[in-house]
Amino acid sequence: MPRIKLVIEYDGSQYHGMQRQDNAHTVQAELEKQIHRLTGETISIMAAGRTDAGVHALGQVIAFNTASSIPPDRWSLALNSFLPGDIRVLSSCLVSPVFHPQFHAASKHYAYRLYRQKTGAVFYRRYALCTAEPLNIGLMRQACQSIQGRHNFQSFCASGSGSKTFERTVSACRLQETGALWQLDIEADGFLYNMVRIIMGTLLEVGRERIPAEAMPAIIQSRNRSLAGPTAPGQGLYLVAVCYPPDAYISEKLD
């Protein structure tokens, strides 16, 4: 049966995360519901990442098997006519039957946004962590440098993770300032449960000068969650993109 890959974006404000859950409104459940309306098929989608409640996506990747006669490059147009306005299909293509959005991913890019002034916060409250408190961005950037590289990130993993190993390679971790908006961009070969939100929470403690920037390597080496900062709220987090190697069983992209 053909397998279709979709790149989607969504506003996670009204959803209890990506993954289907009993008695909860999720992005997966909404997608499967609308695919059923479109094709009559009952399908189960696979996703590149399991985003939490309130978390957004600019480039989530999903895949599913279908017997539908809809051409691979027409899924965007067809499905968007059924989906609610807070979920959009950006592109679609045919992939190999063995392609998996999560297991074949080479890297992922997440962003976390801070809105840094009081006026206008009402408009950003669902799309950034709104905080006008004093923060030392120089110290936060210094701490970001310690995150880069291959480390055991157990200190930045929430309880309940099913990961067998805590080692990940972070290829980029940078904090940018554009007016009232600050954005943490972090790219890695994989992420642990709540890893980016805990890193952001720790960086905020560094910016408040409650945790020294120089302490970041020791926090990493400790493998002790209690030494890192709190978990930052979900609304500031975005899954920006998922990258795949050339041999990841993806056919030529059809937009």
**Active site positions, annotated:** 52
Q: Can you give 89-139 as a three-state secondary structure string?
A: EEEEEEECCCCCCCCCCCEEEEEEEEECCCCCHHHHCCCCEECCCCCCHHH
Spacing of C-alpha 149 from chain mean position: 20
Of 151, 156, 239, 149, residue with least CA distance to 193:
156
Q: Which two tokens stand for residue 110?
A: 């997440």
Enter the tokens of residue 193: 């449960």
Residue 181, φ and ψ in degrees, nearest 5 = -100, 125
Among candidate residues 240, 253, 246, the one with its CA nearest the CA of residue 112: 240
Residue the block writes with tokens 């992005």: 27
